[in-house]
Amino acid sequence: MFTKQQIQVISDHLGEKIISINPASGGDIADSFLITTDSNPIFLKTHHNSNLLKSEKIGLETINKTKTIKTPEVLGYGKLDTFTFLALEWIDSKSPTSNEFTILGKQLAELHKTNCDKFGFEANNYIGSLHQSNAYKNNWNDFYIEERLYPQLQLAHQKGLLNQSKIPSKDVMKSSFFEYFKNITPSLLHGDLWSGNYLISTSGDPYLIDPSVYFGHSEIDIAMSKLFGGFGTSFYLEYHKIIPKDQFTDIRVELYQLYYLLVHLNLFGRSYYSSVKHILTKYF
């Protein structure tokens, strides 16, 4: 599973003697392991793409610096040839209560109050295993279409999953979205907030994991949270006490879900085609 040299590199980064490394659940893209040491257990992720784990490290540290919501502490990051690892604080977790969903909603809203003067991020990253460009833009309409929707639409076409005739031009999309995308400020986002990317610790604290951070519209995270479910009613009630909906929220949520559905189409194939087609047909 691991060579002696790899174990030594991990041990040196952690400053801990490693007793054992065993497979663990918790990684969709990377391989995940539980490291047993003389002190605390450690969560280990490995992947051949060093940039992917580096992006996750940056994302966790960026969210942690806001002091709004917890993330697992980054304990080590390193590589040896094509072997790359990210070592994180191990979080014992449990199923969330209604009150803990309330706390999660409040803390996510506080995270979204972390602002920037532009849309994007200092570095590109990944959504799943797909590259995600974060080139700064002054305008949300430009960013969402040029850095999010259009690249995924073109990738779907290249993969033979979407006909070019079904893909609206950038100008058509910008014109269609203009009314809905007014007065939007850049908020720090988790970027991939489905139910597998938060934890509730056994002490009742919410944690965010596996982020794809950038500064964008706060409703992006809400849209992803609603796409596959797994968030309690109290989460949304508390969140919208702090960041209220407006008359176009439901429309934007569907438009933002289009991005994630395109990502799933490109990652997992045609089972997501009908959902993508429905939104494209509805708005274009």
The two three-digit tokens of residue 240, written as one number: 């919208």
| Cα separation, 89 vs 95, whole angstroms | 19
The two three-digit tokens of residue 235, written as one number: 């989460």
Q: Confirm if 195 and 230 have CB atoms less than 8 A apart.
A: yes
The two three-digit tokens of residue 268, written as one number: 């997992």
| Cα separation, 15 vs 37, whole angstroms | 10
Quickly list H helices, the chain: 4-14, 50-65, 98-112, 140-143, 150-158, 170-177, 219-227, 233-242, 249-268, 273-283
Instruction: Report the 10 Å Cβ neighbour count for 163.
Output: 10
Residues with catalytic function = 192
Q: Confirm if 17 and 40 have CB atoms less than 8 A apart.
A: no
| Cα separation, 11 vs 17, whole angstroms | 6
The closest alpha carbon to 149, from 261, 274, 229, belongs to: 261
